[in-house]
Every structure is written in structure tokens, then in C-alpha cells.
């Protein structure tokens, strides 16, 4: 009798497990999947959005990965993602390549961001002009004494070239917004693969200078106040200074789809631009698009 009871209970457990597994498989197979990839600046925000949205829409599964703006846009061009994240606008040559591949990129501004220039808290330098930052990263200025600091060599940190933040910083800071300028990062600039990598290096190295999205800068690092030109006001990055346009290194953040979105993708993008989702933008240190 005991042997029979054990067999009965074991059989019941197996059947229940199979039924549960079958039910789970059925649920997954009926779910709508959205593949979202690209900018490392946006990835934490995109993950927070996906987590909230999925908790309210149990029939939707959203995969979020980083890799850089270039990676996201390349995936859109190849037709392997539903939504590409980018911290820079898509280039004309990328649009041409996409269209040649039957892809029609459609742009959505989903948040705004300030790029903070950061140093170790031991560094006494608090203010820099855009020109000084340009000269530092191009190699014209190599010692902190040249900008009011201690006699220390400047260690320059940057994101890798595939990063939209790298491209934006090159065009707006190093080249001071001049499309004819061909200034490049100094050859001794250390290229790091992630925002977190820059944070770690600045935290450990009192000689370092780096840049990162405002939402990634921890409280234990120092942000530099920046003036557009010599004699101008020095401004720290914040949501108010981005909105009033007094902080000079601010940008839009983007999502791209293939053509005008429909169905679940449209519903998700509509939600991203809703007050609920834009509250998450502010919570993570970015600037909501509806706050201007």
C-alpha cells in the first residue's frame, strides 16, 4: 500500500509539472516579443521601462541589450531589431544603407541627456571652458597646471568610437560644433567600452578626466561646471540647466524603428512617451521630453 501511495504521488507530481510546463510554454508562445538594442547611455533607462511595461502587459516580452548606438543602428539596418536605441541622430549614410536594404528608419526622441565632464574629487579644478576641454582631449593641454590645477599629467578617458556619446562629444566638444573642423581625440586618450568603465577609472585615478551621461554619474565623483566661452557663466549639468539650455553639452536621445510602428511596438513607444514612463526618465537622472 505504501509503495502504491508513493507511485501515485510521484505520478501526480509528474503530471502537474508537465501541465505547468505546457501551460508556461503556451503562454510564452503567445507572447509578443520586442527586440530593443543599442546605446549604452540608454540601456539602464530602457531596462527600467521594459521591466515596468512587462509588469503591466503580461503578453509582451521585451529584450534589452546595449553595445553602443552604432551597434543598435547597424542591427536596425540589418533588420534584426524592432527598436534601435541611439544617443546620437542617425547619419545620412546610415539612412541610405538602411533604405538600400529595404529598411525605412523612423526617429523618436524619447528623452534628453546632459553629458557631464567628470574628475576625481581630489582634483581641485572645478570649472573649464569648452575650448579648454577641447584642448585637453586633442592633446594641446597635457598638465592640470595649465587649467588651474596641480602639477599632474592629465589622463584622458573616452568611450569607444562605436559609442554615440563618443561621436557627440567629438562633434560638439572637440570640434566645438564646427562641421568643417577635423580635430581628433589625442592618440593617448584611453578608450573604454562602457560608462561604468569611465566611472571606475575616474574614481581610482586623481589625474583622470572623463565624460558620461548625467544619469550615470555617482555622488562620489566631481562634475565640472562648463562655460561656452571665456568670460561666460560656468554651469553644472542638471535637469533645469538642460531645459533652460544654459548647460552647453546636452542632447536628445533616440529610438528608431523600421517604418511607422504598428501593433505592440507602437503601443510600447506611445507608453514610453507617456507621463508614467517619463517619470522614470527623471528618476534615473535624464530629462523628460515633456518637461521643456
Burial of 43 (0-12, 13-18, 19+ CB in 10 A): buried
Record the cell numbers describing residue 263, joined without a space: 501593433
DSSP 287: B
Q: Out of 14-23, 54-63, 78-87, 98-107, which region has the weakest mean confidence (pLDDT)?
A: 14-23
Confidence of residue 44 (pLDDT cuts 50, 70, 90): very high
Rounded to whole angstroms, the Cα distance separating 3 from 8 reads: 9
Inform me whether the pLDDT recorded for 136 exceeds 60: yes
pLDDT tens-digit map of 190-248: 999 988 999 999 999 999 999 998 988 999 999 999 999 999 999 999 989 998 999 99
Tell the CATH superfamily of the 32-112+251-283 domain: Periplasmic binding protein-like II (3.40.190.10)
Apex 276 CA angle, 34 and 286, nearest 5? 85
The per-residue pLDDT of the chain, averaged, comes to 89
Burial of 178 (0-12, 13-18, 19+ CB in 10 A): exposed
Apex 157 CA angle, 153 and 158, nearest 5? 150
Helix crossing, 275-283 with 40-56: angle to 10°? 140
pLDDT tens-digit map of 140-196: 999 999 999 999 999 999 999 988 899 999 999 999 999 899 999 999 999 999 889
Confidence of residue 290 (pLDDT cuts 50, 70, 90): low
pLDDT tens-digit map of 3-36: 434 444 434 333 333 333 333 333 455 789 999 9
Rounded to whole angstroms, the Cα distance separating 55 from 287 reads: 24
Does 32-112+251-283 match 113-250 in CATH topology?
A: yes
Going by C-alpha positions, the residue among 115, 45, 42 that lies closest to residue 281 is: 45
Contact between 69 and 42 under an 8 Å Cβ cutoff? The reply is no
Going by C-alpha positions, the residue among 44, 114, 65, 37 that lies closest to residue 280 is: 44
Please state the domain extents for the chain.
32-112+251-283, 113-250
Tell the CATH superfamily of the 113-250 domain: Periplasmic binding protein-like II (3.40.190.10)
Inform me whether the pLDDT recorded for 2 exceeds 70: no
Number of Cβ within 10 Å of residue 164's Cβ equals 28
Contact between 127 and 248 under an 8 Å Cβ cutoff? The reply is no
Record the cell numbers describing residue 161, joined without a space: 568610437
Position with higher pLDDT, 276 vs 31: 276
Inform me whether the pLDDT recorded for 125 exceeds 60: yes
Strands 105-119 and 222-223: antiparallel
pLDDT tens-digit map of 94-124: 999 999 999 999 999 999 999 999 999 999 9
- Tell me the residue length of the chain: 292
Amino acid at each position: 500500500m505504501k509503495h502504491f501511495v508513493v507511485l501515485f504521488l510521484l505520478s501526480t507530481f509528474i503530471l502537474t509539472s508537465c501541465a505547468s510546463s505546457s501551460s508556461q510554454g503556451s503562454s510564452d508562445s503567445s507572447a509578443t516579443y520586442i527586440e530593443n538594442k543599442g546605446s549604452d547611455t540608454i540601456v539602464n533607462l530602457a531596462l527600467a521601462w521594459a521591466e515596468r511595461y512587462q509588469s503591466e502587459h503580461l503578453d509582451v516580452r521585451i529584450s534589452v541589450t546595449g553595445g553602443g548606438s552604432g551597434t543598435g543602428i547597424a542591427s536596425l539596418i540589418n533588420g534584426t531589431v524592432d527598436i534601435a536605441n541611439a544617443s546620437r541622430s542617425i547619419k545620412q549614410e546610415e539612412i541610405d544603407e538602411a533604405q538600400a536594404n529595404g529598411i525605412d528608419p523612423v526617429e523618436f526622441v524619447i528623452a534628453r541627456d546632459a553629458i557631464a565632464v567628470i574628475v576625481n574629487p581630489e582634483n581641485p579644478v572645478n570649472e573649464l571652458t569648452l575650448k579648454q576641454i577641447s584642448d585637453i582631449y586633442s592633446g594641446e593641454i597635457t598638465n592640470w597646471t595649465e587649467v588651474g590645477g596641480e602639477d599632474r599629467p592629465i589622463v584622458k578617458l573616452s568611450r569607444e568610437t562605436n559609442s554615440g556619446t563618443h561621436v557627440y562629444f567629438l562633434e560638439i566638444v572637440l570640434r566645438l560644433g564646427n562641421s568643417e573642423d577635423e580635430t581628433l581625440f589625442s592618440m593617448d586618450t584611453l578608450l573604454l567600452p562602457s560608462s561604468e568603465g569611465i566611472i571606475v577609472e575616474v574614481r581610482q585615478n586623481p589625474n583622470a578626466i572623463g565624460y558620461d551621461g548625467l544619469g550615470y554619474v555617482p555622488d562620489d565623483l566631481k562634475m565640472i561646471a562648463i562655460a561656452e566661452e571665456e568670460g561666460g557663466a560656468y554651469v553644472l549639468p542638471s535637469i533645469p540647466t538642460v531645459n533652460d539650455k544654459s548647460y552647453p553639452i546636452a542632447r536628445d536621445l533616440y529610438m528608431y524603428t523600421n517604418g511607422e510602428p504598428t501593433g505592440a511596438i507602437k503601443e510600447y513607444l506611445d507608453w514610453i512617451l507617456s507621463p508614467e514612463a517619463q517619470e522614470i526618465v527623471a528618476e534615473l537622472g535624464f530629462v523628460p521630453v515633456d518637461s521643456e
